[in-house]
Structure 1
Amino acid sequence: MIKSMTGFGRAEEITGDYKLSIEIKSVNHRYLDLNIKMPRRFFPFEAEIRNIVKKYVSRGKVDLFINYLDFKDKANGVYLNKNIVKKYLDIGLELCKEYKIVDDLKVSHLLNLPDVISIDEPKLDEEEIKAILFKVLEYACKSFYDTREAEGKKLFEDISLKLELLSSTTEDIKERYPAVLDEYKNKLYLKVNELLNGSGIEENRIATEVTLFADKICVDEEVVRLISHIKAMSDEMKLDVGIGRKLDFLAQEMNREANTILSKSTDLNIANYAIILKTEIEKIREQIQNIE
């Protein structure tokens, strides 16, 4: 079953010690573009996080947000790095002496300098935090997958209806073609008869003209290929792999055949059928852009 490239998923876990929430969303994209925003403590797990997400999506622009809130008291984990403070002060004093500038350094300035203050985050067992992270990530990815699958089902149903219309319209063209030849032949008889004032009509010449006309407007090959493409697209949509690019290719080929039919047409009915084909194919192509 086809899946949409547009989706959203969310999962979280809350305990007395922490809150971990994960959101994942995606939009159309030619390839898989996975962007992850997460706290630094999860950086060591990035490769594994990517591998988990790739189990659920193969194409699209995917944004993953991981938020972690620790409820534990951090007050005892704040430290002043005195050696670094001393170095900053020494550098400041040296600047004042060498360039004769007034020292306006304040405590608030010092506290904002890099590495003056360090905070020791509560230490969690790496395997424990990893297990929690991956569990919540799996839940978020499953939710994300379900929304894409639900949207894909809607796309499948709508495109299937359009393919049925394409198929019936193609059959209409196929059935209309012999009538067009008969109408042309009758008009040709009337015109020649009028010009010759009822004199004998050369049947061979009429047959030759009809044959030339038939060759000119013949769309048998286009109809056969179009029917083949419609079936191929219908079959392809039943597969459970990344099929968006293949469907887009088939839609382009279908549009090519519809254009040829329209350009060859001298009959209003067939021209209208070809326009219906082009219109529906364009709608299908727009929807295919959202298929993984």
Structure 2
Amino acid sequence: MHSAPTWDPQQYLRHSGHRTRPFLDLLARVPDLPAAGRPARIADLGCGAGNVTALLADRWPDALITGFDNSPEMLQRAAKEYAGPTPGGGRLDFRPGDLADWTPEEPYDLIVSNAALQWVPGHADSFPGWLDALAPGGVLAFQVPGNFVAPSHRLLRDLCTRPEWRDRLGDYLRGPASVLDPAEYLTRLLGLGCEVDVWETTYCHLLTGEDPVLDWVKGTGLRPVLTALGDDPEAVDAFLAQYRDLLRAAYPPGPHGTVFPFRRLFAVARKAG
């Protein structure tokens, strides 16, 4: 059993603008919630540093919003920056919660997740229980990366299986099976009686600075590797140097910066009213 990755909120937030855009695109497709005459109740699964959770209060100013995450580092940052009353009369709070076994303890109008479910094997098996916890007309909405066959991810997996790293890192990383195909998300959610909207988008992020793709992945996909090697600084440096060279070849800088295509999958499922 591998230990959970240690997260670095500051590193993750270095690319917060690019990482926030898919969440805003997801929210734009969420229909009105069924909470008539009362504040909406919203759960954000895998809330991370809380910066996107706070955006929910812009759309639903009086909502009661709870972010759940299993990273103490992320929850500490979220609580410090965002917990408390919102200007619209709602409230933000943050609680520990592991999405692998998270069970709603109260009814919700919206359960939302941004770039978190890919860390949970078999996450689609949780959909029936989550939908049961929604009010009639409530919504389950999520976004997950679909970039596992891109050079950034494929090269990382290949590097972990090289002879010098295989024993320590060979089975640490997630592969394409970490998320379902869009059509399978659609089929599963339709089978649960929902009105469903599923789509995918490839964002062409323009990154700047030295080795920007490596800097991006340090905040997300590299976390299991950095956690596994964390007690061996020399190994961390050696691994990062090898990965950096591979990324430089795969994502050469252009005249305006480094283009980093990133595919993401989206689903919005509305429970029958």
TM range (shorter): under 0.3
Q: Which structure shows the higher helix fraction?
A: 1
TM-score by length of structure 1 reads 0.22
Q: Which structure shows the higher strand fraction?
A: 2
Rg: which structure is higher? 1
